[in-house]
Amino acid sequence: MDSDRGAALAALLTATFRATRSATLALGDLKASAPRHILATLDADGPMRVRDVAAALRIAPPSVAHAAEALEHQGYVERYASPDCGGCTMLRITPDGSAANRDWYARIVEALGGGLAEASDEDWDAVARTARLLASLDHESMRASAPPHRGHRGPRAV
């Protein structure tokens, strides 16, 4: 990738992170982001092993297990032992968890929408094209081609 495209992509990612953080703070939400990321991941990708959620989010497996316990008490996720992987702990989002995740995104969109009230139809078309482009990424291929991390064994199995 040439440096101009790399810089544009870096600027997009930075702006997205900052906008989301600002919207969260504008909503007065001071909760930890890990539970929200766990819900979003399970809602998008389906049931996963605790260690796979941890690897996907770059969070220590014990932290994911702790957050999952709290989410389970709220009725947002279910933990269960998978017969397919020797009883490892699996997580799946519940209908209430999926609804909470959709509500969260709706609130973020509403908070961001006010700040983008002056955006033109052309701007919104560019946002839609960018979203489609990012959604078309082959995530599995990207993970498979990533170089191994030296000096880090990855998350422990849970």
pLDDT tens-digit readout, 64-102: 999 999 999 999 999 998 888 787 889 999 999 999 999
The confidence score (pLDDT) of residue 150 equals: 47
The confidence score (pLDDT) of residue 30 equals: 78
Give mean pLDDT, residues 27-54: 91
Asked whether 86 and 158 are in contact (CB, 8 A), the reply is: no
* Residue 139: pLDDT band with limits 50, 70, 90: confident
List the beta bridge partners of residue 93.
Answer: 77
Which residue, among 136, 15, 40, 29, has the nearest Cα to 7 in the 3D structure?
15
Give mean pLDDT, residues 28-35: 84
Percent of the chain with pLDDT over 70: 91
Average pLDDT, the chain: 87
Element housing 123 (H / E): helix 121-135
Which residue, among 89, 92, 93, has the nearest Cα to 156 in the 3D structure?
89
Phi, psi angle pair for 91, to nearest 5°: -125, 140
Angle between helices 61-73 and 33-45 (to 10 degrees): 80
